[in-house]
Structure 1
Amino acid sequence: MKEYSIAKNDSGQRLNKFLEKAVPRLGGGQMHKYLRLKRIKVNGKRAEASLRLSEGDLVQLYLNDAYFSPVREDEAFRLISSPKLTVIYEDANILLADKAPGMVVHADESGDADTLIAHIQAYLVQTGAWDPADAASFSPALCNRIDRNTGGIVVAAKTAEALRILNEKIKAHELIKKYLLIVHGAPTPPSGQIENFLRRDEKRKQVTLHSARVPGSKTAITRYRTLAKNGGLSLVECELLTGRTHQIRAHMASIGCPLLGDGKYGSNEQNRPYHEKGQALYAYSLTFRFGDGAGALSYLNGKTFRVKDIPFVRKYFPGFQLS
C-alpha cells in the first residue's frame, strides 16, 4: 500500500487528475476499475474520480508495486490516451506545437513523465504518423526547448533528416524566434539592443550578467521593442540573437523592467497585486530564414508561424491585435 498526503499545492483538484500525475503508469480504465474495487481510497473510504481533494486528505493506493516504478522518458508516450497538444503546423517532416505554460518539454529532475515530447509522440502514434514498433523507426524529437513556465512554439522533427537539418540551422541562427512579454515600467529607450555576458549559476538555478567576459560566461544579445503601454505595465517584443538560459528575464530586469510574475529576477512586491503564478513570457513567433543547405526542408524558407491568442496579452492589453 502506498499513501499520499495532500499538500496545499495539490488541494482543490480532482482525484483522477492527481492520480494521473502521481501514478502515471495507472491508466484511466484501470483507475476507475480500482476505484470501484475500493483499492483506491481517500481517508479510508471509497471515493469517486471527481472528488475534490482537500489539504490533509490521505489518498491510499492498494496496488502492485509495478505501478509505482519510474517511467522512462522513452516509454512515457504509451501512458497517454488523450494527448494534450495544440498543433500550429504539421507536415511530413516537422510539427510545431504551442506548449502551454506549466508543461515541461522533457523530463526534469522531478521525474515528471507528463512532458511535451511524450504528448507529441502519443499524438503521432495515434494519427499513424509514427510506428514505435518498427525497430528501425526514428523517434520524433524536439529541436528546441523553453522553460516550464514559458509558453510558446516548440519544434519537433518527425524524421532523422529533419532533425539533422534543424539542429544545423539552429546552430547557425537561421531560426528567428520572437517573444512577447509584459514588463513592469517602460523600457528606455522604447526600442534597443541589450548585449553583455551571461553566466549561469547551476547551484542557484539563476544567471548573472557581466559587462566584460568572466570565466564560464557567454555572449548574450537581445533585441527589444515596446508595442504598447497600460498603466505601469508595458507589452514588449523581444528577438533572441543568442539563446541563453533566462536571457530575456535577466536582460529586461537589468534595464529596470522585470517581467510581470517573475519572482526570480523581479520583485515579489511588484508582482503581488497581479496574482500571477509565472512570468508573462511567450515564444509567439518563429521564422525559418535559411541560407544554403536546407535540403528537404527548403520549402520552409521564409515562412513565419505565430501564436495568435496569448492569455496574458488578452488580459492586460485587451485591445491589442497581434499581426
Structure 2
Amino acid sequence: MRRYTVPPEEEGRRLDRLIRDWWPSVGMGLRMGAIRRGDVRLDRMKVSCSKRLVAGQELTVPWDDEPVAPKGEESCVVRGESRVLPSWVIHMDQVLLVANKPPGWICQPGGSGNGTSLPEEVWRLIGRTGPVPAHRLDVNTSGVVLVPLTKPFARELQRMFREGLIRKLYWAVVKGRCGGAFRIDAPLYAGDGGPVAVSGEGREALSLVRPLCTHGGYSLVEVTLVTGRKHQARAHLAHAGLPIVGDPVYGVRLQGVRRPMLHARFISLPDEASLGDLRGASFTAPLMEDMEDLIGRLGLQHPGAMNRCGDLA
C-alpha cells in the first residue's frame, strides 16, 4: 500500500476520476474493484467512487506505480514528509499559507524594479503558480498576510474580508504622545494615485487606536482597522497628530529609519464552520529587526519583551 496527500488543486474532484488520471496504466476494472473493496481509502476510510476530495486528505492505493503528473504540472501529489520552511512562513497547511512579509516585498506578481514578489516566493515554495494574497500590505509595510492555496478557500476569505469578519491589528511607532485609546472616524479620499487625504468626499474609514507604550515624545501604538482603505493606518494616524516614523508621505523622518515603522502584527479568522480546522484561528507576526531596534532605541519597551506598558490584554 502506498500513501499520498491530496493536493489543493485536486480539491472537489471525484475520487474515481482522480484515480483514472493519476494511474492511467491501471485498468478501469482494477481501479473500480479496488475502490469498492476498500483497497483505495481516504484518511484510512472506505469511500465510494463518487466521493469528492478535500485537500490534505491521505489517499491510500494498493498498487506501487508512481502517479502520472497532469500535463504542465511538475507534480500531482504533495508528499507527507516534513520539510524546513523559510523564516517568513508563519503557518502552512493544505489550504492556507500565512506569511510574515518583509519590507520591500510586493503583494502581487511581477511589478517593476528588483523587488521580491510574495506570490512568486510562495509559488517557488509550493512548486506551482496561482495562489495570491487575499489582501495586501504596502510594499514597505511588514507583517502578516494570508495566502489561500485553493480557490474555494480563497473565495471564503474574500467573502469574509468583504463582510468585515477578519480582524486585523497593526503596530506602529509614531511621533507624539498617545495618552489613551481613541477612535479615528474620518473618510479617506484616494484621488488619482496621489496621497490619500481625509475628506468628506472620501469613503467611510474607521480605525481604533490604543497606546502600548509612550516615552520621550514617541509612542508605540496598536491600530485596529475596522475598514480596509488604502493607506488607512498611515493617513489616519497622521490626521490624529501621530505620524508614523519613517513614512515619507504621511509621517516624519528620523535618522537611520528607512521605511514606515508599520507592522501588521495580528490577524484572526471568524468562528465559522466553512473554515474547517482553521475555524477561529489567529496568527501573530514577529516584528522585523529594524522595528525591534528602533523600539529599543526610543525606549519603547514593547509587550513582547517585559510587558512594561500597562494593561495590554
CA displacement 1:106-155 (0-9 Å, x = unmatched): 14652657311000010001xxxx5x6xxxxxx22211110001001111
The reply to whether residue 227 of structure 1 matches residue 212 of structure 2 is yes
Return the alpha-carbon distance in structure 2 between the equivalents of residues 121 and 174 of structure 1: 27
Partner of 1:305: 283
Return the alpha-carbon distance in structure 1 between the equivalents of residues 152 and 206 of structure 2: 30
Aligned pair partner of 1:170 in 130, 141, 161? 161
Partner of 1:264: 249
Q: Spell out the pairing of 1:24-103 with structure 2 (5 A cutoff).
A: 86-103=88-105
Q: Quick check: which has more Rg, 1 or 2?
A: 2
Task: Name the structure with the higher helix share.
Answer: 1
The reply to whether residue 197 of structure 1 matches residue 187 of structure 2 is yes
SS in 2 for 1:250: helix
Q: Could you list the runs of 5+ residues in structure 1 that have no partner in the other structure?
A: 1-82, 133-138
CA displacement 1:207-255 (0-9 Å, x = unmatched): 1102x3x2xx210100010000221210000010001111111111111
Give the number of equivalent residue pairs: 219
Which AA in structure 2 matches 1:321?
A: P
| C-alpha deviation, 1:174, in angstroms | 1.3
Return the alpha-carbon distance in structure 2 between the equivalents of residues 203 and 223 of structure 1: 25
TM-score by length of 2: 0.65
| C-alpha deviation, 1:301, in angstroms | 2.4
The reply to whether residue 159 of structure 1 matches residue 186 of structure 2 is no
Q: Spell out the pairing of 1:177-188 with structure 2 (5 A cutoff).
A: 177-187=168-178
| C-alpha deviation, 1:313, in angstroms | 4.3
Which AA in structure 1 matches 2:281?
A: K
TM-score by length of 1: 0.63
SS in 1 for 2:161: helix
Kept in 2, the 8 Å contact 1:230–1:316? The answer is: no
After superposing on structure 2, the runs of 4+ consecutive aligned residues of structure 1 that deviate more than 4 Å are: none
SS in 1 for 2:203: strand
| C-alpha deviation, 1:185, in angstroms | 0.7
SS in 2 for 1:178: strand
Kept in 2, the 8 Å contact 1:174–1:290? The answer is: no
Superposition RMSD on alpha carbons, in Å? 2.4
Kept in 2, the 8 Å contact 1:230–1:317? The answer is: no
